[in-house]
Amino acid sequence: MSLKNRLKTTFEFSKNIFTTGAFYETSRKVELEVCTHLPQGDNKVIVEYGMGHGNISKEILNHISPTSKLYAFEVKKEFCEHVRETIDDDRLIIINDGAQNMSKYIDGDVHGFVGTIPFSFFSKEMAKQIIQDSYNKLVSGGYYTQALYTKFNYKKFVGIFDNCKLKRIMGIPIEYVYHCQKT
């Protein structure tokens, strides 16, 4: 990403800090780490929560097959418009709504979830509902991978998923990636 676009993203994220929960996009290391458990093969359905300006969406699209689909949820209309203008890929379906409404849009099974939504800003009930709904939609063996700046929400995932791993990504700031599997 160019310096101009990076500065634009930082400005937009900071301006909307109570929605984004971050001043910057996640690091390159995290963009790659959240893609390590994505499903391979044809006709997979992947769901992203918190698309932002689409940095992780791009990486997911690089990792999945040509016949798979990525449903990306984002509450900020301006961010959805930005991604519509900057990513031209038929596999990407942008949904301008919250992760808490995922089940209204996705009928069948989901093969993988990737999230960067700010769980620390959600009520306990909404956080648990998002995690439980995602678990219910996920196929056996599939992963929900979530990146956050703290490990405080890890317990909520451990309470619902069958097999969880916490990875610390060193940098400024430190980032955490939760890899949670439904067995």
Ligand X SMILES: C[S@@+](CC[C@H](N)C(=O)[O-])C[C@H]1O[C@@H](n2cnc3c(N)ncnc32)[C@H](O)[C@@H]1O
Q: Tell me how far, at minimum, the Cβ of 24 lies from ligand X, in Å.
A: 7
Question: Greatest CA span in the chain, whole angstroms?
Answer: 43
Beta-carbon contacts of residue 113 (< 8 Å; ≥ 6 apart): 46, 47, 48, 49, 134, 138, 142, 143, 144, 145
**Sheet hosting strand 138-148, strand order edge to edge:** 92-95, 69-73, 45-49, 110-115, 138-148, 175-181, 163-169
- 15 vs 165, which CB is nearer to ligand X? 15
Which stretches within 45-153 are classed as H helix? Answer: 55-63, 77-86, 102-105, 124-137
- 23 vs 40, which CB is nearer to ligand X? 23
- 56 vs 177, which CB is nearer to ligand X? 56
Site of interaction with ligand X (CB under 6 A): 19-22, 25-26, 49-52, 55-56, 73-76, 79, 98-100, 116-118
Q: Tell me how far, at minimum, the Cβ of 140 lies from ligand X, in Å.
A: 25
- 79 vs 154, which CB is nearer to ligand X? 79
Q: Tell me how far, at minimum, the Cβ of 70 lies from ligand X, in Å.
A: 12
Q: Tell me how far, at minimum, the Cβ of 79 lies from ligand X, in Å.
A: 5
Distance between terminal CA atoms of the chain?
A: 37
